Structure 1
Amino acid sequence: MNQRSDPPTGDSPTEKLLDGLHNLISAAGERTASILNDRIGTVANRLTDYAGAGDGAGKTAAATGAQKLKEGGSPVNAALNAGLAGGREQLHRTFGRDHQDHQKKHRTTRVTDIIESIDVGVPVRVAYDQWTQFEDFPSFMKKVEGVEQESDERLTWQAKVFWSRRKWDSTILEQVPDERIVWRSHGDKGSVDGTVSFHEVTPDLTRILVVLEYHPRGLLERTGNLWRAQGRRVRLELKRFVRHVMTETLLRPDQVQGWRGEIRNSQVVQDDDAARRQERAEAECADASAPDQSADNPSQ
């Protein structure tokens, strides 16, 4: 049979609280006093054990139990709260930063995949060249408010999210003329990584495929993510791009000076001037190697 341990005596706050409870017990009936005294003795032992542990968990548990007693809670609830507080403290001490990093990683690894495609009635080169004019985006896209191209491979974006504004930086990892653009981005309230590729359906019809990984972080971003608002926004912006190409670019295709350089591993391996010189040289070589039609036709 377990023996009941008498509550500790002394000058500590916990002991003073327990002494006060003993005084109340003495005024109660004999049976009630016996039951409560058993419980209080158990609580006292537990709080003493917690405090005697000497580590953060024990001190936290003892302080929590004493506070619950002071607030008028029952001895059983005081012991329960002490145990929970000590357990949380011990968990934190056991796992430390690794536990926090795991929780943080779990919170920030929620990714929304967005895949959209749209057709535009122009050759691949025209569609690609217009897309590379990033600083023109705010003129025809609703949510994009500003684009600043710091270098061939680095850009800063500003867009509107509901009634707030968000800013992020993007780095182009790979860019191949008339084929694809791959980028990664970083922002305090979220980021978008992705790829846009251009596919010839017919000589005058291009399919644009956009694949995005959206990483929401801010409250508005996470809320919009629940509604799948980002996917709808991408579809609308693609439609605005097509409308701009078909109403503006198509009328003046030669005036669209796209960036014809090439980027690999975030490094410019061929700039725009070098790429255009190469294109001219290849065109001249093709013209020179073409058969002379006038020599085959004496009537000309």
Structure 2
Amino acid sequence: MTTTLTAEIDVEAPVDAVYNQWTQFESFPEYLGAVKVVQQIDDVRTRWTVSIGGREEAFYADVVEQVPDQHIAWQSTDGIFHAGSVDFEPRRSEAGVDETHVRLRMDWEPQGILETLGAAVGIDKAQAQMDLQRFKTFIEKRGGETGGWRGEIHDGRKTASDE
């Protein structure tokens, strides 16, 4: 049974900075609670180590769609099924400050009783919302992104470079 969760947040930073930070997969452990390590293999492929319910799991995931300042989508390629997307929408606050609305969606197949129960009672959604809050705090306190990749990926293939 596949479980889906969504979470959203407004970040007080321009869309290019927020998007750029999200392309820095290796920094995810700094603000995504379950993520222990992300290794960037190439422009499309990553290797993840996560801790869920006290159990470590590792898997590969590929970026399947990536359009600068708009959208990133990924899917696991081995192990348990996991897929997701994040969308970025530029906004301007009432005070005239550039903001970005971040919308996260994740789909996965819970493994075991703890993950199934966590999904059923909304613990996963709460964790995702806390992760987005940590992401917001991370980029707002820094005053900008740690790097960025501006290439495009469609159907799991790089179609435009970031140069």
TM-score between both structures, scaled by the size of structure 2? 0.89
- Deviations along 1:154-176, one digit per CA (max 9) or x if unpaired, are 11111111221122221111100
Given that residues 35 and 51 in structure 2 are in contact (C-alpha distance below 8 angstroms), is that contact kept between their aligned partners in structure 1?
A: yes
Larger Cα-atom Rg? 1
Given that residues 85 and 105 in structure 2 are in contact (C-alpha distance below 8 angstroms), is that contact kept between their aligned partners in structure 1?
A: yes
2:41 pairs with 136, 146, 150, which one? 150
- Deviations along 1:185-216, one digit per CA (max 9) or x if unpaired, are 1453x332111010011161110011221222
Matched residue SS, 1:216? coil
User: How many residues are matched?
Assistant: 159
Matched residue SS, 1:257? coil
1:241 deviates by 0.3
Counterpart of 1:121 in structure 2 is: 12
Matched residue SS, 1:232? helix
- Deviations along 1:198-241, one digit per CA (max 9) or x if unpaired, are 00111611100112212223443223223322111111111110
Matched residue SS, 1:141? coil
1:195 pairs with 79, 85, 93, which one? 85
Structure number with higher relative contact order (C-alpha < 8 Å, ≥ 6 residues apart)? 2
CA distance in 2, matches of 1:126, 1:244: 12
Counterpart of 2:29 in structure 1 is: 138
Counterpart of 2:69 in structure 1 is: 178
CA distance in 2, matches of 1:193, 1:237: 17
1:272 matched to 2:124? The reply is no
1:213 matched to 2:91? The reply is no
CA distance in 1, matches of 2:32, 2:84: 18
1:116 deviates by 1.2
1:153 deviates by 0.6
Return 5+ residue gaps in structure 2 as ranges. Answer: none
Given that residues 65 and 156 in structure 2 are in contact (C-alpha distance below 8 angstroms), is that contact kept between their aligned partners in structure 1?
A: yes
CA distance in 2, matches of 1:268, 1:162: 35
1:1-300 aligned within 5 A = 110-188=1-79, 190-202=80-92, 204-248=98-142, 250=143, 253=144, 256-273=146-163
Return 5+ residue gaps in structure 1 as ranges. Answer: 1-109, 274-300
Given that residues 113 and 211 in structure 1 are in contact (C-alpha distance below 8 angstroms), is that contact kept between their aligned partners in structure 2?
A: yes
Given that residues 138 and 146 in structure 1 are in contact (C-alpha distance below 8 angstroms), is that contact kept between their aligned partners in structure 2?
A: yes
1:260 deviates by 0.5
Given that residues 167 and 187 in structure 1 are in contact (C-alpha distance below 8 angstroms), is that contact kept between their aligned partners in structure 2?
A: no
1:257 deviates by 2.4
Taking every aligned residue pair, what percent have the same amino acid on both sides? Answer: 31
Matched residue SS, 1:272? coil
CA distance in 1, matches of 2:140, 2:60: 29
CA distance in 2, matches of 1:183, 1:140: 18
TM-score between both structures, scaled by the size of structure 1? 0.50
CA distance in 2, matches of 1:151, 1:134: 11
The amino acid that maps onto 1:142 is G
CA-atom RMSD in angstroms: 1.6
Matched residue SS, 1:260? coil
CA distance in 1, matches of 2:112, 2:155: 29
CA distance in 1, matches of 2:115, 2:57: 10
Given that residues 168 and 191 in structure 1 are in contact (C-alpha distance below 8 angstroms), is that contact kept between their aligned partners in structure 2?
A: no
